[in-house]
Structure 1
């Protein structure tokens, strides 16, 4: 075979070990590149684009054969090796002066924007990539190629799945209720990006869809563009202020709202209508009831810092990336912090309602499962937590406490189940195991906490969507009031949506069953997915960002797991370049919002 006819990467092998050692030694350890004399002796025409590509290919082969030799630790060496072997060791990003600048610089631009997703650009080798792009071509170019590939793998995985191990954080989670996306495999990321000339578009196709994700990115950029806290003291006002009240704290509150702090009447600071309008708008933006009353919750939110909001945005961007992007045609979604439920069909919201979720000590879990039916006129079996924490102390004082409320106590199961006189049980010595052998059941009726409707949805947490016997709670703006289950404000409408695809089903049939008072299960012809999510920042119906309460402290826990105690650190040197980015979602999608009261 004639030497000149050989592919470039095979010519390297014929040039001999001395030449290869010169190249790989310089690349691997950062020594100066081979001299012009050495390169000329090895092969003529070393300045050509083909020869420069040859240098890169030889370096790739050396590292992939001995990954321990390089100064860098790559995420998935096997994937890199397979990717380049499939390309005959041809570089994907570094291909001569013109082409390598085109792709490599575009990749770098996207990596520098990664902070707008709440990701850390330093993880993606941007300093090293910049330095190598600025270096003369002959120095460590294969290292640039592999760093770009490794950065793409890391970035692509972070953008398409979880960055933490959920089981290390929350313990074993049954697969059937796990809604989290799995990150793309390293090889798939490289194939996707290398298969197109538009690497920017290929990388942006990995981003979550939907307007909310884009809105949160814009909010993050806006917050990052603001000056850091100016050192103003936090508000220390205690008590309650209503319109017409006079208090010296009004000056500080006006200053916080961007108003003239010195406005006073006869030397006194009154809470006037002008300030009340600003306060109500502030309360609405932060998920509080916009009543204009300045109390502890409103003051606490005024003391939230810029860094606090940045951390909250980053935590919510992270969780949005966990959720599968291609949802089914019909599903139900509940957002815990906004206490809202949506029923969606063909991308359109058919039903929206306020719900009641678990209180802080008894949180509602985040999970995905399937609705398989509706139980009309349900009985209520008291869950273990309520048995132990709520009823046992009462039973110690009065053994007939439950009996007076229509709740029967049984022991045994199946045919061996029998009603028990509560006075025959020594409640003072009852253990957790004893309580586990006792069933407390309330028959269907008006006083039943499940109301008239309970959704059948298997899950290990015993969390259900159900009606309630206390509808007045839906009037509250803060609705974290249950023991973990989700109480719905429109149970009949929800049942109608769930059973809408059942042949022959009608609203009249539902009314007849409810009127009978008998416990009746109607199963769905097809399972209906339901997602229970935790997003503490959302958009209202006008697209405005609402900072809700971190009910269970999950934002703080997540940020500490991802970024440490200091929280997410904005790379100030990259903020200006991101201010003009078109940070929009690719689809309108379903936005997590609040229900108009």
Structure 2
């Protein structure tokens, strides 16, 4: 049975498997006193928070106290041997956690079926650094080479530097009406201005007037754009909620994002498609000469947070289906389609539905017997290709056991919403032709005209890709973009909350 985050173990890979004798770690003492390297190591553990880690996991305070005592009074050989082993083990674990994460993604039921990357040899990294007299530099070099890791870490350090900022010491007062509009008075204007100034959306010396003026509206629009909100300048409950999130809470959010980055296979293939669920964005990119080139970015619609969440996983795209049929999942058929057909029989022909029996025969006639057969699981119902088809005119298939795929939509107006969790779990894409061109770029006979013709033809055709392309469905509520700006997104699926709980539960006693 799968373990809940509350009972999940520490990531098993953090236990080093010794296949050959390891070289001896130089002692952290000379003449019974701590070496310079000891203080470098202790400083790294004490500042684990700068990597989004917790110094308590490495007994940083207790080790520092023990080494301080040794520096003052010296230490006996047996105590020295014990401290040598404890500091070495703590530093090794710190480096492994920094590179591979403290938990396995399976803890949160993330299905990343990528092969394990080459494991960072933390022990030998430290030994060689110490033998060469360059431990401090080696600890810097050991930081993960993961896309966006250093940028998010830099933003996290800026928020850490805010400390217990006085602008968040008291909550914002409730709004007098549904939203704060330009020209309105509000007793919390000075507090909002102080928070926007602290976050860089207003000048540090800005003094608000008695009304919500144009300068503050513009600053609010900038804030909203960076926090996954409708950037309209109106301050309603959602904007107020984000304004109430303190810098310390943002630090925790970024630390959780760093943890996810450590075990998310963002560099799995030379070409990849990545969907970031809470951002509602798809990106397609290529790796060239160690550099990542972004080829495509578009808005997407993902599964509803309430009941049909899009799962987090990695699979290879292998097919494209032009002018697809939509085989209505049995849960949707029983819960939505069949009840609608019983109320409104005309809906059957209007939407282009048909029944398919077990032997594959097709019926275009709506009958009570056919409805009962679908209800009982004997038949299925599907929607023919056409302008009303729920999948639009193209479907991108990456076979998986949860029947999730990318597809177009007959309702593109939903892409204009700031929050876009409307689907039954599959992912609707805004720019299907552009995505098809990216996917098929190594099949040059599939030109833009040919792709568009296949989408319009109305006859279903499935195309096998010459080269599979990894599709990663991931979850990050913090990203850096637009020249280094930090963007935060609501935790719509409560994945950050679950990860935070799992890390607390897995912490060693």
Q: Classify the TM-score, shorter chain.
A: 0.7 to 0.9
Change (3 A) 1:355 1:151: same
Which is greater in Rg?
1
1:160–1:207: 8 Å Cα contact kept in structure 2? yes
Rounded to whole Å, the distance in 2 between the matches of 1:78 and 1:301 is: 39
Change (3 A) 1:78 1:509: closer
Q: Could you tell me how far 1:438 is from its partner in structure 2?
A: 3.6
Q: Could you tell me how far 1:234 is from its partner in structure 2?
A: 3.0
Rounded to whole Å, the distance in 2 between the matches of 1:295 and 1:76 is: 45
Change (3 A) 1:242 1:482: same
2:340–2:347: 8 Å Cα contact kept in structure 1? yes
Q: Is 1:243 the counterpart of 2:182 in the alignment? A: yes
Q: Is 1:178 the counterpart of 2:122 in the alignment? A: no
Q: Could you tell me how far 1:532 is from its partner in structure 2?
A: 1.1
The answer for the alignment partner of 1:113 in structure 2 is: 47
Residue number among 414, 433, 456 corresponding to 1:473 in the alignment: 414
Q: Is 1:354 the counterpart of 2:299 in the alignment? A: yes
Deviation by residue 1:275-318 (Cα, 9 ceiling, x = unmatched) = 21121121122122321111221111122233322221121111
Rounded to whole Å, the distance in 2 between the matches of 1:454 and 1:77 is: 40
Mapping of 1:129-140 within 5 angstroms? 129-134=63-68, 135=70, 136-139=74-77, 140=79
Q: Could you tell me how far 1:114 is from its partner in structure 2?
A: 1.6
Rounded to whole Å, the distance in 2 between the matches of 1:80 and 1:498 is: 40
2:305–2:421: 8 Å Cα contact kept in structure 1? yes
Change (3 A) 1:181 1:281: farther
Q: Could you tell me how far 1:503 is from its partner in structure 2?
A: 5.5
Rounded to whole Å, the distance in 2 between the matches of 1:405 and 1:500 is: 34
Rounded to whole Å, the distance in 1 between the matches of 2:255 and 2:60 is: 20
Change (3 A) 1:462 1:211: closer
The answer for the alignment partner of 1:389 in structure 2 is: 335
Change (3 A) 1:416 1:469: closer
Deviation by residue 1:479-538 (Cα, 9 ceiling, x = unmatched) = 222221111111011111111112533223323423432111121111111111101111
Mapping of 1:32-181 within 5 angstroms? 85-87=21-23, 90-94=24-28, 96-97=30-31, 101-134=35-68, 135=70, 136-139=74-77, 140-170=79-109, 177-179=112-114
1:409–1:422: 8 Å Cα contact kept in structure 2? no
Residue number among 455, 477, 495 corresponding to 1:554 in the alignment: 495
Rounded to whole Å, the distance in 2 between the matches of 1:119 and 1:555 is: 15
Deviation by residue 1:423-482 (Cα, 9 ceiling, x = unmatched) = 22576xx9xx94544422111111112111111211122111111111111222222222
Residue number among 321, 325, 335 corresponding to 1:379 in the alignment: 325
Rounded to whole Å, the distance in 2 between the matches of 1:204 and 1:325 is: 22
Rounded to whole Å, the distance in 2 between the matches of 1:78 and 1:359 is: 38
Mapping of 1:67-466 within 5 angstroms? 85-87=21-23, 90-94=24-28, 96-97=30-31, 101-134=35-68, 135=70, 136-139=74-77, 140-170=79-109, 177-179=112-114, 184=119, 188-196=121-129, 197=132, 198-210=134-146, 212-228=148-164, 230=166, 231-237=169-175, 238-248=177-187, 250=189, 253-254=192-193, 256-258=195-197, 269-324=210-265, 326-345=267-286, 346=288, 347-361=292-306, 362-398=308-344, 401-412=347-358, 414-415=359-360, 421-424=366-369, 434=375, 436-466=377-407
2:189–2:208: 8 Å Cα contact kept in structure 1? no
Higher strand share: 2
1:316–1:536: 8 Å Cα contact kept in structure 2? yes
SS of aligned partner of 2:152: helix
User: So what's the TM-score if we normalise by structure 1?
Assistant: 0.71
Rounded to whole Å, the distance in 1 between the matches of 2:181 and 2:347 is: 42
1:229–1:306: 8 Å Cα contact kept in structure 2? yes
Rounded to whole Å, the distance in 1 between the matches of 2:43 and 2:29 is: 18
Change (3 A) 1:86 1:337: closer
Mapping of 1:449-528 within 5 angstroms? 449-502=390-443, 504-528=445-469
**C-alpha root-mean-square deviation of aligned residues, in Å?**
3.3
Q: Could you tell me how far 1:102 is from its partner in structure 2?
A: 3.6
Rounded to whole Å, the distance in 2 between the matches of 1:239 and 1:348 is: 43
More contact order relative to length (CA 8 Å, sep ≥ 6) = 2
Rounded to whole Å, the distance in 2 between the matches of 1:93 and 1:317 is: 32
Rounded to whole Å, the distance in 2 between the matches of 1:560 and 1:399 is: 49
Q: Could you tell me how far 1:247 is from its partner in structure 2?
A: 4.8
The answer for the alignment partner of 2:6 in structure 1 is: none
User: So what's the TM-score if we normalise by structure 2?
Assistant: 0.83
1:358–1:480: 8 Å Cα contact kept in structure 2? yes
Structure 2 unaligned segments of length 5 or more: list them: 1-11
2:353–2:364: 8 Å Cα contact kept in structure 1? no
Q: Could you tell me how far 1:540 is from its partner in structure 2?
A: 2.6
1:450–1:469: 8 Å Cα contact kept in structure 2? yes
1:162–1:183: 8 Å Cα contact kept in structure 2? no
Deviation by residue 1:137-161 (Cα, 9 ceiling, x = unmatched) = 4351111221122113322331233
